[in-house]
Amino acid sequence: MIYRDQSVFLCRNQIEYLILKTPYKLILFFFLFTIALSSQTEESSLADLKRKVAESESDSAFVAHKIALIKYVLNRDIDTTRVLVNEVLTDLENIDNSTSPFYYSKRVEAINYLAIVDAKQSFAEKALSNYLKALEMAEKIEDSIVLGFTIHNLGMFYRRQKEYNKAKVYLKKAIAIKEAIYQDSDDIALSYNMLGVTHFYKKEFDSALTRYSKAKQLYKTKLGKTKVNGNLALLYYSSKQYDKAINTFQENAEIFKELGILSELSITYQNLAASYNGLKNYHNAILILDSAIALSKRIKHKERLVQQYASRSSAHSNNGNYELALRDYKMHKAYYDSINDIDRAKRITALELNYQFEKEKLQSDLALQNEKTKQRWYLVLLLLSVLSALIIFWLIRKNTRQRLDLSNERLQNERLEKETTRRELELKESELKNESLSNQVKHEFQEQIAVQLQEIIKLNDDHAKTKAIKSLLASLKSTTTKNTVSTNLSAFIEKVSPEFKIKLSTDFSFLNDKEIKYLYLMKMGLSNYEIKDVLNTTLASVKSTRYRIRKKLKVDSDQDIIQYIEQYSNNDIA
C-alpha cells in the first residue's frame, strides 16, 4: 500500500555495511562532511528566524517573526512547534491592544497551527475543536486571508479522517476565497493539490489529474512542485508503473533531505518502499522502511508508525522471514492501540520497550563493545563542546550587556552635560540682556544731558547760561523726561524680552503704568538707588512703590518679584 506526504534517509543496514567495509577515519570524515552539507542551509534559515525573533523592536514584529518560526519548525520538530505555539498564544494574551485586528488574526493563525500539531500527534478531537474555534474567530473579523487558511486546514483534517466529501467542500471553498483575494500562487496551488489528493482517495483519477495539473502550473517553489510530483507518483503507482513512481519518489526524497523536512522525508520513503513492493523487491523495501520508521520515531508521528510497521511486517512476510514479520505486526498493533486506547497503549508500550531492551541486551557481543565505548567518548566530547559553546555564548552575552550598560551610562552623562551647558548659556544670555538694557537706558539718559550741557556751554551770556541750567534742571524733573524714559524702557523691553512685556500686559493688567515702569527697570537689574536716579525720585518713593507691587502680587518679602512674574504660569493670584 502507498501513502500520502513524502521523505528519504540512509538506512541502518547501509550504515553498518559502510562501517564494516570502510576505514574508520574516512567514515568519520564522510559523516561530518555530509552533516555539514545537509544542515548548512537549514541551520542558516533557522538561525535567521531566531535572530529576527530576538531582535524584534515591536510586539507586532515579534509575533509575526515567531509565527514564521513556527511554520518553519512545523515539519521538523513537532514538540518544539507545540511549545512555540503555546508561547505565542500566551504572549498575545499579555500584549496591550491584543484585541486589535492584527493581533486577533495572529491569534487565529496560532490556533490553526495548534490544531495542526494536535492532528499530527493523533489528537483528532482537540484538532477539530481548535479548527472550529479558529473558523468562528476568522468569520467574526472577516479576514479573508486567515479565513482561507483555516478552511483549507479543515479540508485537510476531514481528508485525513476519510470524510472526503466534506474535505472537497472545504477545499473548494478555500480555493474560491484565495482566488478572490489574489493570494500567492503557491498558496492557491496548495489547495488545488490537496483537492486532487482527495479525488485520488475517492479513485476519481481523472479529476485528480486535472487538479494536479492546475497546481503544477501555479507552484513557483521547488518544495511546492515536489508536492505535485509526489501525487503524480501515486498515480503512477496506481497504474502499476512502479519504475516511474520510484524515480519520482527518489527525486522528491533528495529535495526533502536537502531541505531537512523530516516529516515529508519519512512518508516519501514509505511510499518508495511500497513501490519496491510492487516490483517484489522486498529487500530494498525493508531497507527503506527502516529509515522511514526511524524518522517517524524521531518526529513522534504515531499514525505513520502504525502504517510503516504494518508495511514492514508485510514485506518480511513476503520475503519469507515470518519471525520478523510477527515482531513488526506486534509493534503495529501496539501503536494502533496507543492511538485508540491510551491506558492500554501505556501497558503495551512498556512491555514492548522491555522486550526490545532485553533482546538488544542478549544480542550485544564483545566485538561491538569497543565501538560503543568510542561512541560514548564522542558523545561526551560532543556534550563538552555544546557546554563550552553555551558558556562562550553566555560570556559574550554578558559582555555585550556590560558594554550596553556602559554605553547607556555615557549617553546619560552626555545628556546631563548638555543640559548643564544649556542652563549656563541661558543664565549668561539673561545676564547679558539685563546688562545691555541697563547700559542702553543709562546711555540714552546721559546723552540727553550731554546734548543740553553742550548747548549751554556754547552760550556766551552768563545770564543766559544760568537760565539754561535752571531750565535743564526743570526738564530733568519734568513729566516729559519721565515719559521719554518710559517710552525707551518699553521699546527696549519689547526688543530684548518681549515675553516679559506680554506677560505684564496680559496676566498683570491690574498694575498701573508707574508700577509697570518700575518692573521694567527691575527687569533690567537696576537697584533701588539706580531707579531713584533714573526716575528722579526719592528712595522712599521707590521702596513704597516696590511694596505696593508686592502687595498686589501677594509676593513675600523674601521672594524675587521678577522671578515670580516669569514663573507665573505655575502660580495663581486671587
* Phi and psi based region of residue 183 (left: phi greater than 0; alpha: psi -120 to 50; beta: remaining): beta
Helices (H) and strands (E) in the chain, counts: 25, 0
SS3 call for 161:
coil
**Torsion sign over Cα 374, 375, 380, 383:** positive
Residue 492 has which C-alpha cell?
527696549
Chain center to CA of 309:
42
Geometric angle at alpha carbon 337, from 335 and 343, rounded to 5°: 110
Q: What is the average pLDDT value for the chain, to the nearest integer?
A: 79
Whether pLDDT at 311 is above 90: yes
Domains in the chain: ranges and CATH: 498-574 (1.10.10.10)
Provide the pLDDT for residue 437: 54
Q: What pLDDT, in 10s, does the model give residues 513-537?
A: 888 888 888 888 888 888 887 787 8
Exposed/middle/buried for 114, CB within 10 Å: 0-12, 13-18, 19+?
A: buried
Q: What pLDDT, in 10s, does the model give residues 110-143?
A: 999 999 999 888 898 889 999 999 898 888 887 8
Whether pLDDT at 25 is above 70: no
Q: What pLDDT, in 10s, does the model give residues 215-242?
A: 888 888 878 888 888 888 888 888 888 9
Q: What mean pLDDT comes out for the span 144-156?
A: 90
pTM for this prediction: 0.43
Higher pLDDT among residues 488 and 69, named by residue: 69
Q: What is the Cα gyration radius of the chain?
A: 45
Q: What pLDDT, in 10s, does the model give residues 240-259?
A: 889 988 998 988 898 888 88
Could you tell me the CA-to-CA distances from 515 to 116, 518, 532, 550, 552 in Å, in that order?
Answer: 83, 5, 14, 10, 10
By the 8 A CB rule, do 272 and 294 touch? no
